[in-house]
Structure 1
Amino acid sequence: MTQTAPAQPTTRNSARGWILGGGAALALIALAVVGATLPSPAAPSTRWNVVLITLDTTRADRLGCYGYGRADTPTIDALSRQGVQYLRCYSPVPVTLPSHSSLLTGLDPPRHGIHTNGPDALSADAETLAELLHGEG
């Protein structure tokens, strides 16, 4: 796999660090979902097997696959070598619940209704990935 540029170091409290971390987490999630949805050659099936792995508060500039020399992330680094590595990923918001809600619905916070980690409720018309997959069997 060819990288076009190493990740730029960020400060611990910068918004860019949060966005890069969220982007790295979303990239790893997308990688896991795509890999998990491929049918097994040993057991062909018309149904998908999906494993969704999410990471919270993981910064791209602290992962070996993004150029950090002192990283202790061998499993993530190996997964990155076997799949697609994104250099520019963005989270719609640097807060866990609304960011995950966006990932699982494909909608931004104003459309799915989750704005904080508080008592917000998901919009009734926001279909989640779980509902979509359930509908497919």
Structure 2
Amino acid sequence: MSSCALACTVQGNFRTGPLTWTAPDSSATGLGTPPKAKNRTVTALSISPNPAATGGTATLHFDLRQAGLVRVSVQDLAGAERAVVLQQTHLAAGAQQLPLPLQQLPPGLYLVLTQSRGEREHVRLEVR
């Protein structure tokens, strides 16, 4: 295990004192990887183009490590669901590409959520 300590003084409603960080194991690559991240069902989540044009279409790219039911939705930053792109559909394992129609989304920031096997992953989408 590796660790480092940094002096930290923050005013306001925060505590002052040392900040200590410890790597989870010696094989960590700098910042460490949460154990759950190694076993995610949905990985390599990205959108292109991003930002995307209002009224256009973007493409959601991701890798599915195991075949299974997948749901994809778009939420605004307040957490309201704005669109369902894919409704609990069985997808094969491997690289996936889904079109994201943007006709119903006004300019703004959104989260595109993927749900599979009880896990949720998201990627930010900017519509201009």
Determine which structure has the larger strand proportion and give its number: 2
TM over 0.5: no
TM-score range, shorter chain: under 0.3
- TM-score normalised by structure 2 residue count: 0.21
TM-score, with structure 1 as normaliser: 0.21
Which has a greater percent of helix? 1
